[in-house]
Chain A
Amino acid sequence: MKSQPIDTYASELAEDVRRAVADGSASGYDRRAASLFSDFEDPDFLRRTAGDVKQHTLENLDTYLAQTEDRLKENGVEVHWAGDAEAACRAVLKIMRDNGATKVVKSKSMATEEIHLNDFLEREGIESLETDLGEFIVQIDHDHPSHIVKPIIHKNRQGIARSYEREGLGAYDDRPEVITARARKFLRKKYLEASVGLTGANFIVAESGRLVLVTNEGNSRFCLAGTDIHIAVVGIEKVIPRDRDLSLFLSLLGRSATGQQLTVYTEFISGPRAEGQPDGPRQMHVILLDNRRTEVLASNCRDILRCIRCGACLNVCPIYRQASGHAYRSVYPGPVGAVLSPLLAGEKFSELADLPKASSLCGACKEVCPVNIPIPDLLLRLRDKAKHEGIKSPGTPPMGGWAYLASQPTVWRASLSAGRLMNLMPLNLIPVPALRAWTKSRQLPEWRGGAFRKWMKTRKIGGKDS
């Protein structure tokens, strides 16, 4: 029987990787709960409010985007609209070529992962260097991030030390402080060589045109300290209406992501270097990325665009913990990825239509989501969409016959009794795939179909026959 790709991936995953992913995500979950519940009386109220603010913004995105563009321009920022990944990559390249730039230092950004910017720039002969420690390690390994906040959750320090040795970054030494110091030393001179600093944005405020970046390593500041040009690639769903809304979102983001009250660095960027300012990029460009977000907005899964990329749903997800991020075969893994990735795939939806199936629908993701996205409902809607489009789903039992049975009470009752025949058979010989999948690791109890109905009919209530 054909299996679900994510289930197969999980069963073949190396035990040390599974351990690393499970431990890393579980500790993230514990820290989140501790920080949210110790600081706020009713964190759920905050989550719901943040969700409402984001939903409101999405439902009025046309207005807020126009406002954002106006403010950005007033602040001296050049605004570029990118319909798809190709357009966004080309916009970055054009800015670089126009300015004779050949090197770019990058701060961590999921949007640039999504458009595969590094590969594009490399093909165009431009050196694009990741400066976030995790992303840096991913880059030297030609690997992919497996978590949206902790890109190397699947790696251990021994493997990283070996990669460093291979790349000539120093003899094998797996102490974390050595690994960090070596990256730091290598990157320092790179910041000075590059003329372009590239970032994403966690939020962009419509009323002020303010870009907000949260990081823990300070690398995004370095990316903007020595460079002449700042390019930010920002998904159009990152807009929030007012500066004051940041109090809500920043309170939730750090805590949900890493259990921090605030990340170590929170940058508010309002434009390029102003007159009289001693440093900072002289040019600032914001590339507003659609890449099918407007299609998602038009779908019945638009709530997913509220996501602020905290990774809390990955950390809490029991399937993510068993399968790891790479099992999802896409930039966005875990519960949020299982919704977002197939939607962003557009006409290639069918290739990722199995992702929404990889959930027991336990709802833990919704419970921790800082913007209260009903992820299980969206997963279900996508399952319905896949079925509607006739996409085959390996291992899913056919439901038509069952639905017939369950809407014909007489037949239902007859089969309840007939099911008792199962007790006489060796279950492993019954050629029903679902039954085989069940009995591989689980016993099935005795079939007692109809026993309750019989009891209900023949019992005595208060001494009288019912």
Chain B
Amino acid sequence: MIAVDRDPSPGKKVQLMATCLCDSFFDDVAVATVEVLEYLKCEVTFPEEQTCCGQPAFNAGDWKSSRKVVRHCVKTFAGDEPVVVPSGSCAAMVFHGALLEFEEESDLPEVRQLAGRTWEIADFIVNGLRVAEWPGKFPAKAAFHRSCHTRETNSGAATRTLLESIDGLELVPFGEGEQCCGFGGTFSVTFPNISAAMGKLKLGNALKENPEYLVSGDMGCLLHLGGIATREGKTIKTRHVVQILRDSLRNGGLIP
């Protein structure tokens, strides 16, 4: 497991890390995260100074630039409250990637402190708040793409637990389900040909099962897969897991 040791009872006062992708493109995912957390009686604060987790530069190999952003992140999310992120990728950056690039830095303890209380949203709901069944209903057929940054973390299983318990939601397995979608952050623009080929493969495998929705816990994957689908005129609705959770509550009349 790549996850660090965390407080098993993190409490319900949480800080939201919205992610730069939701900040720029996918505001409804951040909205849904707040609505879902508040439905679970969490008190959500949104530190206004937040920007990005530092991953783009980390993956590009520019660790010096990345550390600058991580330091800003550590300052922004100060305190002891759990930090909840609607992205397996950004979460893994905080609790794994950042530790790697701070190995020889004197402020490693501060980075580790943040790492120890950072949760991907599905992991937080299932393993932090001990919610194993999701109420409401969502009558549809969906393909779930487990994003790669949740490998070796609890997030993949947690997401499945939640989605599989939703009334009416049918999760369809599809071919080569464990394969990467080809997004990979900066990889998507430094290796545009391979990245697109991987995306088409993933999309093709998923579409074979005729799902109405393509669901993932990372908007990076969906930005990429949705972008290919739109370009190729394929009809599939892309949704973040947390949007499905929120819509399930709405459909069940549990939230407005």
Instruction: State the A residues within 8 Å of B (CB).
Output: 3-4, 6-8, 10-11, 26, 318-319, 322-323, 356-364, 366-367, 377, 380-384, 386-387, 393-397, 399-400, 402-407, 409, 412-413, 416, 419, 433-435, 437-438, 440-453, 455-456, 461
Contacts and interface: CB of A to CB of B under 8 A. Distances in A.
Given A407-B69, A442-B231, A453-B48, A360 B183 contact: yes
Nearest to A8: B193
A10 B199 CA distance: 15
Given A359-B187, A399-B57, A450 B62 contact: no
B189 A397 contact: yes
A410 to B, nearest CB: 9
A363 B59 CA distance: 13
A409 B50 contact: yes
B61 A387 contact: yes
Interface in B62-118: 62-66, 68-69, 71-72, 76, 97, 100-101
Interface in B183-213: 183-199, 201
A230 to B, nearest CB: 42
Contacts of B171: none
Contacts of B101: 380, 384
Interface stretch (B25-33, B121-129, B162-170): B25-33
B228 interface: yes
Given A399-B57, A450-B23, A437 B69 contact: no
Contacts of B149: 363
A444 B66 CA distance: 25
B137 interface: no
Given A7-B194, A358-B191, A384-B101, A452 B66 contact: no
A289 to B, nearest CB: 30
B31 A455 contact: yes
B184 A363 contact: no
Contacts of A362: 148, 151, 179-180, 184
A405 B25 CA distance: 17
B187 A360 contact: yes
A393 B71 contact: no
Nearest to A445: B25
A318 B200 CA distance: 12
Closest 6 CB pairs of A and B: A360-B184, A383-B61, A442-B227, A362-B180, A403-B65, A452-B27
A452 B152 contact: no
A452 B30 contact: yes
A7 B60 contact: no
Contacts of A435: 189
Contact of A364 (B51, B68, B180): B180
Contacts of B226: 443, 445
Contact of A409 (B51, B178, B179, B201): B51
Interface residues on B, range: 35 or more
Given A318-B180, A323-B194, A409-B51, A453 B23 contact: yes
A437 B227 contact: no
Contacts of B49: 409
B4 interface: no
Given A4-B190, A362-B180, A393 B27 contact: no
A322 B197 contact: yes
A407 B72 contact: yes
B135 interface: no
B61 A442 contact: no
5 contacts: A6-B194, A10-B193, A322-B194, A447-B24, A447-B25
B66 A403 contact: yes
B186 A452 contact: no
Contact of A318 (B27, B198, B228, B231): B198
Contact of B34 (A397, A440, A456): A456
B143 interface: no
A83 B31 CA distance: 61
B230 A443 contact: yes
Contacts of B187: 357, 359-361
A86 B166 CA distance: 64
B65 A437 contact: no
Contact of A10 (B24, B48, B197): B197
Contacts of A397: 56, 60, 186, 189-190
Nearest to A18: B197
B54 interface: yes
Contacts of A366: 151-152
Contact of B195 (A26, A360, A380, A403): A360
B163 to A, nearest CB: 21
Contacts of B22: 452
A209 B242 CA distance: 58
Contact of A438 (B18, B76, B192, B201): B192
B46 interface: yes
A387 B101 CA distance: 13
B223 interface: yes
B1 to A, nearest CB: 10
A455 B184 CA distance: 29
